[in-house]
Structure 1
Amino acid sequence: MQLTASHAVLADRFGPADGTARRIKQAVLVVLGVALITLAANIKVPVPGSPVLMNMGTFAVLTVGAAYGARLGLTTILAYMIIGALGFDVFQSSTAELNGIAYMMGGTGGYLVGYVMATLLLGTLAQRGWDRSMGWMALAMLLGNVLLYVPGLLWLGQLYGWDKPILAWGLTPFLFGDGIKLALAALTLPAVWKLVGRARS
């Protein structure tokens, strides 16, 4: 596999490839991507002892990044952030009382920054063909998770204080679930590419 070459991403293989129709397709994909991330973020499981809930949002964010590529993926995640900042209930535990910018500055703020960074990374790696192989996709997801956790943990440390059990709050409870999501993405995207290949052969 040529890891430095530019490859088409999944979003490029469906629908119009140029002109106004392509822009309409991209707009629709952004809307669908935001809806998917919102839905996944609300599939959540409380983690005892942690102020951060485990949810499927990270899986959706990383998968959208890989399927859309860097530019469209970044547009989608920024649209999601803007909608959330305006006060709409798109984040995992936003409420009528806590939403918008106030929510984004809370305990999950660093992870939201990580969402943007990880989406850009996954899109870039997908454009180098990493999403077509289970091994490379698993590595891409691992790197994406690192980009999620680094700003997330730094944010928690600054917000609550480094004397608190930051790793126990924001890392270790989620490793098992993230491993499952990593494996799921590593299986799903290469499988979709195989289906695309068969449909076009």
Structure 2
Amino acid sequence: MTTLTASERSVLQMLWPAQGRGAVWTRGLVLALAGSVALWASARLQVPFWPVPMTMQTLVVTMIAATFGWRLGLATVMLYLAQGTVGLPVFAGTPERGIGLAYMVGPTGGYLLGFLAAVAVMAPLAGDGRSWTRMGVAMIAGNAVILLCGFLYLATLVGASQAWAAGVLPFLTGALVKAALGTALMVAGWRLLASWRR
């Protein structure tokens, strides 16, 4: 059985081993582009759920944070936000509800900024992906940070009580479901990769 170093135990290194600056940069560029496409696709995917339909975007954000780490995770989300800033219809509800900066300063702007905050907060918490507890805490923290940022920004537009009723409460159950799903996918995926590498 091969003994894995600490860097090799990370999910990203196991998915795509890279040694040397050029290989690491190539991997980062390809994965950032792929991650931004995944964020766009997940914004379009709605799953019937109670009390409101659930998109998979926050699940993808938290899985990017847990898989890519904070540097590449932040770069990936920033690339996605930059695509939306220049007017590409990558956000949920675009172009019907607007595009570009006009969309980003609207009611969902806080959630978009929350994607960045969630990556920064949860990537260190997730560790190497092996622990159910650490991954669960990281996934809950990531979802909570997104909701908190969305709430704080929305409260400046409509007031705290309405922001809570419309921007947080309907999404709490979905956030818990996505945190549990993300935890299961990440830990099971790590164990599968670790078994395959032996």
TM-score normalised to the size of structure 1? Answer: 0.87
| 1:29 paired to 2:49 | no
In 1, distance between residues paired with 2:195 and 2:116?
33
Q: 1:133 aligns with which of 126, 131, 134?
A: 131
In 2, distance between residues paired with 1:9 and 1:60?
18
Instruction: Classify 1:145/1:54 alpha carbon distance in 2 versus 1 (closer, same or farther; 3 Å).
Output: same
Give the counterpart letter for 2:11 in structure 1: L
| 1:173 paired to 2:170 | yes
Give the counterpart letter for 1:192 in structure 2: G
1:83-110 CA deviation, whole Å, 9 max, x = no partner?
A: 1100001101121661000000001001
Greater Cα shift, 142-151 or 70-79: 142-151
Give the counterpart letter for 1:29 in structure 2: L
Shift of 1:125: 2.1
Shift of 1:80: 0.5
Moved over 3 A (4+): 45-50
Shift of 1:21: 2.2
Question: What is the aligned partner in structure 2 of residue 20 from structure 1?
Answer: 22
* Number of corresponding residues: 191
| 1:39 paired to 2:41 | yes
Question: What is the aligned partner in structure 1 of residue 10 from structure 2?
Answer: 9
Gapped regions of structure 1 (runs ≥ 5): 1-5
Shift of 1:196: 1.5
SS at match of 2:94: coil
Pairs within 5 Å for 1:141-160: 141-160=139-158
In 2, distance between residues paired with 1:115 and 1:42?
16
TM-score normalised to the size of structure 2? Answer: 0.88
Q: Percent identity?
A: 32
Query: RMSD in angstroms over aligned alpha carbons?
Result: 2.2
Gapped regions of structure 2 (runs ≥ 5): 1-5
Give the counterpart letter for 1:17 in structure 2: Q
SS at match of 1:132: coil
SS at match of 2:107: coil
In 2, distance between residues paired with 1:56 and 1:37?
9
In 1, distance between residues paired with 2:22 and 2:120?
25
Question: What is the aligned partner in structure 2 of residue 65 from structure 1?
Answer: 65
In 2, distance between residues paired with 1:160 and 1:49?
21
Give the counterpart letter for 2:92 in structure 1: Q
Give the counterpart letter for 1:121 in structure 2: V
SS at match of 1:24: helix
In 2, distance between residues paired with 1:98 and 1:34?
19
In 1, distance between residues paired with 2:120 and 2:33?
18
1:123-179 CA deviation, whole Å, 9 max, x = no partner?
A: 2223x33x32222211111111121111111111111234x5221101111111112
